[in-house]
Structure 1
Amino acid sequence: MASSVTPPRGMRDYLPADKAKREYALGQIRDVYTRYGFDEIETPVVEDYGRLHGGLGGDNEKLTFNVLKRGLSADDLRAAADSGDTSAIADLGLRFDLTVPLARFYTTHRGELPPVFRAIQIAPVWRAERPQKGRYRQFVQCDIDIFGEPGPLAEVELISATAAALRELGITGFTFRLNDRRILTGMLDAFGFDPAEHPGVLITIDKLDKIGVSGVIAELRDRAVTASAINELEAYLARIETAERNGFGVEQIRALLPEGVDEHVIAELASIGEAVAHSSAVAGAGGAEGSSAAPLVQFDPFLVRGMGYYTGPIFEIHHPELGYSLGGGGRYDGVVGRFLGQDVPASGASLGFDRIVDLIDTDAVTREDALVLVHEKGADPAALVALKTQLVARGTRVRLEKRVKNLKGLLDRVTAAGFTRFALVPADATGIEDLEIKPLG
C-alpha cells in the first residue's frame, strides 16, 4: 500500500487560488497597519527552550514543538521519556505565539527603538494540539503591539487599527468584547474567593459560553473552592443574565459589576470603549476606512483571555457566523520585565488570520492584469519567450499554455487561476502587435 502523501495532521497545502487569496488579505492587513504607524519586524521561528517554557505562555507551553539537541543517544531519549523532563534533550522550540519572541526582540534591541515602539508581526506559529475546525497545528498570526505607552491610548490605537483592517477586507458585523483583568480580580475578591483560588476559578469562568451558568457553578463546587463565594457568584450570574448590556459608559459598566470594584479601572475601561466607538463612527462617516459599518463595542464582565500574563484591559473579536473569536489581545506590562529586569508598558492585538480568510469574499480579491498566451505544439520557443518578455516588461503577468483540443476547458482553468485575458498566438507572430488579446470570463 502506498504511503500517505497528505500534509502532516493539522497543517495544510494551499493551491494557487487559495494562496492568492491569502496574499491579498495579508497585503490589505499590512497596508492598514502601516498606515496606522506600525513598523514590521521579523524574528526567528525558533526560540530557546527555557524562554518558551518560562511561564509566559500558559497552557500553550505544553503544546510546544520542541527541537531535540544534536548527538542524543537512545539512552538519553529513554531517560527523558521515563522522567518526563524534556529540558534534558531539547534546547530549542518552535514559537507557539508571537508575543514571547517580540518581548525577547524588544529586550535585545530596545536601545535602537523609539520610546514608544509600534510593531507589526505577521508570521506562522506552531502548537501541538488536537486539530479541529478553525484550529490548526500551524497557522498564521497577525499581531500589532505597542511598547512604552502606559495609558489607554495604546488599547484605543490597537483596537481601532484592528477594526480598520477587518473593514478593509470587507468583514462587517464583528463585535469587540472588552474587560480588564483588574476588574476580574476585583469581582472575585468581592465574591469572597481566596486569592490563591483565583487562577482556577478564572479557568472555570472562562467556560461560561460553553457550559453555561449551571455548568460553571457545578465545576466550581467540584473544585471545592470557597463555598460562600460560589453562592455569591451564582446569585450574581442570575442577576446579570438578563441585564441590559448596551452602552459603554461608566454607569453601564458599574451596573454589571458587584460592589467594591476599583472605580479608576472602570473609568479607564469606559474611556477605551467610548474612544473606540467614536473612532469607528468617524470611519463610518467617511474616514480613511470608508463607509463600512462601525464595529460594536460591548463590555463583557466574564471575558477572561487564557494567557496569564495579561495585567489590564483585554478584548476579543466575535463574529455572529463563527463559534470562536477572530482574535483578541490586551495589556501585558510584566512580560518584558522577565527578560529585562524592569517592567515596560506593553499591549498587543492579534488577528486569527486563518479564520479571517474564510470570511473574505473571493470576488473581492483584486486581480492583476494577467494574460495567457495559447500556442501551438510546434511553436518556436525563442519566438514565444520573446513575446512573453515584451509583455512582462510592460507589467503584465504572462503564462504560456500549449493549445489542447478542449480549449474551453483550458480557458476555464486559467480563469479560475486568476488570469484575466488570453491570446491565440499565430504561427508567424513576431511581436505584440500580431496578437489579438481577448478578455476571459
Structure 2
Amino acid sequence: MAAPVTPPRGMRDFLPADKARREHALGVIRGVYASHGFDEIETPVMEDSHRLHAGLGGDNEKLAFAVMKRGLTGDDLRTAAEAGDALALADLGLRYDLTVPLARFYATHRAALPPVFRAIQIAPVWRAERPQKGRYRQFVQCDIDIIGEAGPLAELELLNATLAALDALGLGGCAIRLNDRRILAGILASWGVPEELRERALITIDKLDKIGPDGVAAELRDLGVEQADVADEIRQLAAADWHLHDGVVPPPAWLDLDAYADLRALRAALPGAAIEFDPTLVRGMGYYTGTIFEIAHPDFGYSLGGGGRYDGMIGRFLGQEVPACGFSIGFERIVDLLEIADDARPRAVVLVHDADVPPLRLVALKSELVASGTRVRLERRVKNLKALLDRVTADGFDAFATVTAATDGADSLSFRDLA
C-alpha cells in the first residue's frame, strides 16, 4: 500500500483558485488597513515558551505546539516524564496567536516606534486543536492593534477600520457586540466568585453558546459558586434588551457604571453602526482588561472577528505599563464566503498552441500580452480540447486563442470567451 500523501491533520493544501481567493481577500484587507494609517510588521513563528505560557492566553496556552530543546538525552526525557513536566523539554513554541508576539515585538523595538503605534499583522498561527469543520491546526489571523493610546480613540479606530475592511470584502451590514471586563468582574463578584478563580470562571462563561446556561452554572458550582439561581441569571443576562444609547434604568447592582458609560460613548461615536451591549460576551483570552467586542453578520450564525483592550500585557515584558487595544478578523471564516469580482482581477487568457510553434515565438506572444496587463498561460493543443478548456475555466481564465505556426503577433490572435 502506498504511503498517505495528505497534509498533516488539521492543515491544508490550497489549489490555485483557492489561493487566488485568499490572496485577493488579504490584499483587500491590507489595503483598507493601510489606508487607515496602520503599518504592517512581521514576527517569528516561534516565541520563547515562558512567554507563550505566561498565563495570558487562556485555554489557547494548552493548545500551543512545543518545540523540543536541542541535545536532549534519555535522562532528560525520563526526568521530565517522572515530574510530569513536558514543558521542561521545550524552550520554544509555535505562536498560538499574534498578540503575544506583538507585545514582545513592541517591548523589543519601542525606541524605534512612534508614541502611538498602529500595527498590522497578517500571518499563520498554530494550535493543537482537535481537527473538525472550521477548526484547523494552522490558520491565518488578520490583526490590527493600537499601542500607546489609552483613550476610546483606539477602539473607535479599530472598529471603523474593521467595518471598512469587511464592507470592502462585500460583507457590509455587520453588527458589533460590546462588553467590558470590568462589567464581567462585577457580575462574578455578585455571584461570589473568588478573585483568584475569576479567569477560570470567565473561560466557563465563554462556553455559553456551547454548553448553555445550565452547563455554565454547573461548572461555576465546581468553582465554589453557591448561588442557586445562577443559570436563571445567565439566561436573563443573555436575553435582556440592552440599549446603550438610553442607558440602564435602574442599573443592576453588578453594573460598573464607568465601564458602561465608556460603552455608551463608543455607541454614540459610531452612529451608523449596529451596536448592542452583551454582558455575557467574554472573549476567551486572559489578557483582556477593559472593552471587548465582536463583529457578526446577520446572514451567518457566528462571529467574524473580535478583540479588545489589553493594557496589562506589554508591561509584563517591558516593566512599564503601556495601553494597548486590538482586533482580529476571523479570516478562515470569511474567505470561503467571498467571490472575486470580475473587475477585481486582471483579464486571464490561455494560448492553445500547436506543437510546431517555435518556443521563442510563444514567449514573445506571451510577453506582449503580459506587458498589457493580461495574465497568460500557455497550453499545448490536445485531442480533448473541451477537457482542457474546462480545466482552465475552473482555474479562473476568461478566454482562449489558438496559436499556429502562421501566427504573426498578439494583434492577430482571435480570442473566444470561456464560460
Shorter-normalised TM-score: what interval?
A: over 0.9
1:100 corresponds to 2:100: yes
- Name the structure 2 match of 1:68: 68
1:408 corresponds to 2:407: no
TM-score (norm 2): 0.94
The whole-number CA distance in structure 2 between the counterparts of 1:427 and 1:203 is: 69
Deviation at 1:234, TM superposition (A): 4.4
Aligned counterpart in structure 1 of residue 291 of structure 2, from 313, 316, 323 = 313
Secondary structure of 1:217's aligned partner:
helix
Aligned counterpart in structure 2 of residue 373 of structure 1, from 347, 351, 358 = 351
- Name the structure 2 match of 1:288: none
Classify 1:99/1:420 alpha carbon distance in 2 versus 1 (closer, same or farther; 3 Å): same
List aligned pairs for 1:35-434, cutoff 5 A.
Answer: 35-221=35-221, 223=222, 225-228=224-227, 230-231=228-229, 233-234=230-231, 236-237=233-234, 239-240=236-237, 242-245=239-242, 247-249=243-245, 251-252=247-248, 258-276=252-270, 278=271, 281=272, 295-363=273-341, 366-434=344-412
Classify 1:57/1:220 alpha carbon distance in 2 versus 1 (closer, same or farther; 3 Å): closer
The whole-number CA distance in structure 2 between the counterparts of 1:9 and 1:360 is: 25
The whole-number CA distance in structure 1 between the counterparts of 2:387 and 2:235 is: 62
**Percent of residue pairs identical:** 62
Structure 1 runs not aligned, ≥5 long: 282-294
Classify 1:237/1:396 alpha carbon distance in 2 versus 1 (closer, same or farther; 3 Å): closer
Classify 1:436/1:260 alpha carbon distance in 2 versus 1 (closer, same or farther; 3 Å): closer
Deviation at 1:396, TM superposition (A): 2.0
Secondary structure of 1:227's aligned partner:
coil
Q: Are the counterparts in 1 of residues 308 and 325 from structure 2 also a CA contact under 8 Å?
A: yes
The whole-number CA distance in structure 2 between the counterparts of 1:388 and 1:240 is: 63
Deviation at 1:202, TM superposition (A): 2.2
Deviation at 1:397, TM superposition (A): 1.6
Which is worse superposed, 386-395 or 109-118?
386-395
- One-letter amino acid matched to 1:369: R
Aligned alpha-carbon RMSD (Å): 2.1
Q: Are the counterparts in 2 of residues 67 and 90 from structure 1 also a CA contact under 8 Å?
A: yes
Deviation at 1:357, TM superposition (A): 0.5
- One-letter amino acid matched to 1:310: Y
Deviation at 1:170, TM superposition (A): 0.7
Secondary structure of 1:251's aligned partner:
coil
- One-letter amino acid matched to 1:424: T
Secondary structure of 1:326's aligned partner:
strand
Q: Are the counterparts in 1 of residues 40 and 121 from structure 2 also a CA contact under 8 Å?
A: yes
Deviation at 1:402, TM superposition (A): 0.5
- Name the structure 2 match of 1:286: none
Q: Are the counterparts in 1 of residues 247 and 264 from structure 2 also a CA contact under 8 Å?
A: no
Aligned residues: 419
CA deviation string 1:43-68 (max 9, x = no partner): 11111122212222222122111112
CA deviation string 1:355-398 (max 9, x = no partner): 11122135568231222111012321122112212222233221
Classify 1:218/1:68 alpha carbon distance in 2 versus 1 (closer, same or farther; 3 Å): closer
CA deviation string 1:103-129 (max 9, x = no partner): 011111111111111000000000011
The whole-number CA distance in structure 1 between the counterparts of 2:343 and 2:15 is: 15
Classify 1:260/1:125 alpha carbon distance in 2 versus 1 (closer, same or farther; 3 Å): closer
Q: Are the counterparts in 1 of residues 400 and 416 from structure 2 also a CA contact under 8 Å?
A: yes
CA deviation string 1:112-154 (max 9, x = no partner): 1111110000000000111111111000000000001101111
Classify 1:85/1:250 alpha carbon distance in 2 versus 1 (closer, same or farther; 3 Å): farther
The whole-number CA distance in structure 2 between the counterparts of 1:180 and 1:364 is: 42
Deviation at 1:199, TM superposition (A): 2.5
Q: Are the counterparts in 1 of residues 201 and 223 from structure 2 also a CA contact under 8 Å?
A: no
Q: Are the counterparts in 1 of residues 63 and 127 from structure 2 also a CA contact under 8 Å?
A: yes
Q: Are the counterparts in 2 of residues 67 and 91 from structure 1 also a CA contact under 8 Å?
A: yes
Classify 1:358/1:403 alpha carbon distance in 2 versus 1 (closer, same or farther; 3 Å): same
Deviation at 1:81, TM superposition (A): 3.2
